[in-house]
Amino acid sequence: MSDDDLVTAAMLGENAEVARLLASGAAAGSPRALYQAAVQGNAGIVRMLLAAGADPCLESDGDDEGLPLCAAACWGHLDAVNALLDAGADPDAREDAGRSAMTALHWAAAGDHLAVARALLDRGAGPDLSDGAGNTALSRAAERGAAAMVRVLLDHGAVPDARALDHARRHAGLDIEAEVRARAGRHAPQDARISVRREEAEGGGVRVVAEVRDGAGRPRSETALGTGHAEIVRLLEARLDVESH
């Protein structure tokens, strides 16, 4: 029995197989299995692995993989995030993967996963930490156009900064549909088809999503931006004006 069996079962969301492997003596110490369960948002497998001794604070040793908490936060998997936090995952831990130095809150803000951000902040995540590119959760949310996320971060003590305001101002005058279509097209295969839809974002507001499908119609990627940039400009300008007096 190899670590790969457990990793594969976690990746495929095979709860019964994970339980069987653990009962048969598989070691849960490989950080890849926990990472894959977190990516998939399978809180049941996350809890099984944690109960069997997996360390919630270890980065995966797989290529381009990082911390399980960051993986769960990136994809908005609230139950997995809570399971990892309950097991002692550090909400402010930074990823070394790709030298991003991003925390789970950075990932949640960048993806506009409001419930995950609230859970992290309620567990003590620092709202003003910078990542490897110098962005805070607030500046990432401002670039995304996630007005509800910006409000939550400000309510939890995030300090408005010039970078966040600049991100919001630069996007406030853009055609967001054209912008997401252009971003999606930069890395799309030559035969790709790009469709754009509008959907309600967590906490209200509108998110514009560009979906890339290959020539066979299979989904390849999505790019999304909110439409709250003008509102974010007003929020940040009001806070910065108050703080300057």
pTM over 0.85: yes
Asked if residues 233 and 165 have their Cβ atoms less than 8 Å apart, the reply is yes
What per-residue confidence (pLDDT) applies to 100?
A: 82
CB 203 within 8 A of CB 149: yes
Nearest alpha carbon to residue 89 among 131, 129, 59: 59
Q: What is the pLDDT of residue 61?
A: 85
Contacts for 130 with CB less than 8 Å, ≥ 6 apart: 101, 136
pLDDT at site 245: 43
How is residue 90 written in tokens? Answer: 């550090």
Spatial separation of the C-alpha atoms in residues 105 and 70, rounded to whole Å: 8
Angle, vertex CA 98, rays to CA 93 and CA 102, nearest 5: 30
> Over the chain (245 residues), what is each successive 10-residue block's mean pLDDT?
84 96 87 95 97 95 90 97 98 81 96 97 97 94 97 96 95 96 91 95 93 91 96 94 58
Q: How far is CA 150 from CA 111, 145, 240, in A?
A: 12, 9, 14
Q: Two tokens at 29?
A: 């110490």
CATH number of 1-90: 1.25.40.20
Cα separation, 163 vs 142, in Å, equals 9
User: Residue 1: its pLDDT value, please?
Assistant: 47
What tokens appear for 227 in the block? 């439409």
Query: So what's the pLDDT on residue 6?
Result: 94
Q: How many helices (H) and strands (E) does the chain have?
A: 13, 3
Length of the chain: 245
Structure confidence by residue, pLDDT tens digits, 185-216: 998 888 899 999 999 998 899 999 999 999 88
Structure tokens at 119: 């859970």
For residue 17, give the amino acid letter: E
